[in-house]
Structure 1
Amino acid sequence: MKKTTNSELSILVVDDEESIRMVLHQSLEKEGYHVSTAKSAEEALKTLQRSFFNVVITDIMMAEMSGVELLIKIKEMNSLMQIFIMTSHSTLPHVIQCMQGGAYDFFEKPLKIEDILISLGEAARRAARWSYLYNRHSLSPQEK
């Protein structure tokens, strides 16, 4: 099975705070990831309809649509999407709701980039496994 490199993992960062989007964009690109940003859940959904991403990192508290609502909509579009939730107002019910909704991980602000990088490494390995299994099982008998 081929190892996934950082440059093969595409990430969409969704937050209504420009400073958070900028810090994550710069930090993750410096590590070799392909990063795009969206300033709202609506913009994120439009971006996800146009482009493929392995991971979405989204804030839980946004103006027109919460991160939980976005999580549910993304999972309806692509159940395998790996979604990381971030918040500065975490409560146990929020964490439980997000994890039950299919969130891959949950981060509290102020963010620790090292923690996100660890989870992204795990997400990259998971994406490589899924890609390998998909390709292995989608080949015709003549191609195997």
Structure 2
Amino acid sequence: EKYEPWFGELRTRPSGSLVSDRRGAVTSYACFGLQERGTLFVSPTTEVYEGMIVGENARAEDMDVNVVREKKLTNVRSATGDELERLIPAKQLSLEQALEFCREDECVEVTPTAVRIRKVALAKVDRDRNRTKARNN
């Protein structure tokens, strides 16, 4: 091992993050609608909180998503009934993959049972404030 000269800034990933906008348990109904938007890191019944990164967005910007949304129950019966929802299995990140995935405004949270990625500023208003502050400087 040896020291190398400075190679410049580290490259970040070209995609954005899917960020949970509220606290609760992930539902399969919400996951089914979000799997078109990108790759999910959480599976149904996982507890999430505001500011937690729940997936990788296919586009470059971060997107706040509601992963705890539940299907509205109605009393009306339909001929087709409820269609079977096929979910793509959630991508499980190791500690190394989570560290590699992180951007400047994100951090890795490690507990004995889970490795999670979250935003440094958990509340959406704080994240928006920091983004505009960085844009103005």
Query: Could you say which TM-score interval applies, normalised by the shorter chain?
Result: 0.3 to 0.5
Give the structure with higher Rg (CA): 2
Q: TM-score, normalised by structure 2?
A: 0.34
Q: Which has the higher contact order (CA 8 A, sep 6+)?
A: 2
Q: TM-score, normalised by structure 1?
A: 0.33
